[in-house]
Amino acid sequence: MAEVLIIEDDDRIRPLLVRGLRECGHTVTSAPTGMAGLQLAVDSSPDLVVLDLGLPDVDGTQVLSMLRAVSAVPVIIASARADDPSLVGALDSGADDYVVKPFTSAQLDARVRAVLRRVQSGRQRPTTLTVGGLALDLAGRRVHLDGTEVELTPREFDLLAHLAERPGEVVTKRDLLVEVWRQPWAGRTRPSTCTCRGCAASSARRQPSRAT
């Protein structure tokens, strides 16, 4: 399995995550602060880093920027809220994925394995996607619909990108729950009726009018 570094300041959460990932077969080290985590990342060269954004000494996005200056190690961000503005900054700064608290060790293990599969497969994700009048900048996390920029939350963008990468395919609610909402599936699998253009159009209608 993988060597995982957890950078988390909460003394209650950190040992639970360490124990949970070890039970899943990973080798796990941890640090309670950003600077200690950076030092461990440089010294031990882990396969993946789980990085909390709310650290006591250095903001998590700054830790990510410093880490990216010296390493391309995959990083999963742990965020308290899906709509946290700093989450967008972290994704723009090179984070590979994110999980929203509270989450279980099994859910984190699933994200770790998914990110490592993407890295190890060597598959390159396109930087842009176009579906009809919908254009997605995956690197910049920006969306335009018929030439007009649409403002989306991180989760709305992830949903739209997930659908846009699968034009013409049936996407089940299980797929969306696991891959976009990052939650376990415990129900019957049924196709989603959402389309990428429909999602973008719905979001566009919610945008406030701009004075000209």
- CATH number of residue 200's parent domain: 1.10.10.10
Strand duo 75-79 + 97-100: pairing:
parallel
Q: Are 188 and 132 in contact (CB under 8 A)?
A: no
Identify whether 59 is part of a domain: yes
Identify whether 107 is part of a domain: yes
Phi, psi angle pair for 2, to nearest 5°: -105, 160
> Both 61 and 138 in a single domain?
no
What are the 10-residue block averages of pLDDT along the chain, 212 residues in total? 93 94 95 95 93 92 90 90 79 87 89 86 69 88 92 88 82 75 55 52 49 33
Which residue range forms the structural domain that includes residue 194?
A: 128-206
Identify whether 211 is part of a domain: no
> Both 107 and 136 in a single domain?
no
Please name the residue ranges forming H helices in 24-84: 34-44, 60-70
- Through-space distance between the first and last CA atoms of the chain, rounded to whole angstroms: 56
Q: What CATH number corresponds to the domain at position 37?
A: 3.40.50.2300
Q: Residue 134 is which amino acid?
A: L
> Both 117 and 158 in a single domain?
no
> Both 112 and 9 in a single domain?
yes
Strand duo 75-79 + 3-7: pairing:
unpaired
Number of compact structural domains in the chain: 2
Tokens 């909460």 -> residue = 10
What is the rounded distance in angstroms from the CA atom of residue 31 to the CA atom of residue 46?
13
Q: Could you tell me the two tokens for 68? A: 């990216």
Q: Are 4 and 46 in contact (CB under 8 A)?
A: yes
Give me the residues paired with residue 134 across strands.
131, 145
Phi, psi angle pair for 49, to nearest 5°: -120, 135
Which of 105, 121, 137 lies at the terminal end of a domain, its last residue?
A: 121
Which of 121, 145, 175 lies at the terminal end of a domain, its last residue?
A: 121
Which of 99, 121, 143 lies at the terminal end of a domain, its last residue?
A: 121
DSSP H or E stretch at residue 167? none
Q: What is the pLDDT of residue 208?
A: 45
